[in-house]
Amino acid sequence: MPSRPRRAGPRVSVLRVGHRAGRDPRLTTHVALTARALGAERLYLHPPDEELASRVARVGQQWGGTFRVEGVVDWKALVRAFDGPVVHLTMYGQPIDLVAPKLRKASAVLLVVGGAKVPSALYQVATHNVAVGHQPHSEVAALAITLDRLRGVPGPGAWPGATHALVPQAHGKKVRTLRGAS
């Protein structure tokens, strides 16, 4: 099946600040699943949410890969210690297509998305404030488009360690069960 060739992009970590455990588990789960599916290595979650991390880990057990959710208490310390550009996704920032060429040259990038409220310090500590369009929308959409700009969309095929893989179909659903499935 033809798929877009993947760009040799940077290693990407994602930081989600302002998660409200018990209030927006579905949205943060979608942030995690989108980060995983589109090639990020990990989601740093502030504040930590063990239940959500376990739920996402179970997806990895079935579909493979090494993506993980790590709880973070002090997001500012994480941002300061990160060895690479820190990119805060916000509608107030500079256009994505202006900044993406620079980011593709980095070896590691930290993408930061907010929730209902964004701490104002984030605008100052970020290396870049980047907008995906200049209208309000969603952290999931902003993350997906940015990951596409940085790394492209992965093609089909089983991920390492997967017990299941999809077989792309024009119509209907087909899942292959791999060795190691119980």
Instruction: Please report how close the Cβ of residue 38 comes to ligand SAM at its closest, in angstroms.
Output: 15
Instruction: Please report how close the Cβ of residue 113 comes to ligand SAM at its closest, in angstroms.
Output: 4
How far apart are alpha carbons 76 and 59 in whole angstroms? 29
Structure token pair of residue 97: 């297509």
In the bound complex, which residue of the shown chain has the CB atom lying closest to ligand SAM?
Answer: 114
How far apart are alpha carbons 20 and 5 in whole angstroms? 37
Q: Would you list the DSSP string of 128-151?
A: EEEESSSS---HHHHHHHHHHHHH
Residue among 2 and 136 whose Cβ is closer to ligand SAM: 136
Instruction: Please report how close the Cβ of residue 115 comes to ligand SAM at its closest, in angstroms.
Output: 6
Structure token pair of residue 103: 């980011």
How far apart are alpha carbons 17 and 79 in whole angstroms? 11
Please give the residue ranges that form the binding site for ligand SAM (CB under 6 A). 89-91, 113-115, 118, 131-133, 135-139, 142
Residue type, position 138, single letter: S
Residue among 58 and 117 whose Cβ is closer to ligand SAM: 117
Instruction: Please report how close the Cβ of residue 155 comes to ligand SAM at its closest, in angstroms.
Output: 26
How crowded is residue 98: how many other Cβ atoms within 10 Å of its Cβ? 12
Structure token pair of residue 115: 């929730």
Residue among 142 and 162 whose Cβ is closer to ligand SAM: 142
Residue among 95 and 180 whose Cβ is closer to ligand SAM: 95
Instruction: Please report how close the Cβ of residue 102 comes to ligand SAM at its closest, in angstroms.
Output: 17
Residue among 14 and 162 whose Cβ is closer to ligand SAM: 14
How far apart are alpha carbons 54 and 4 in whole angstroms? 32
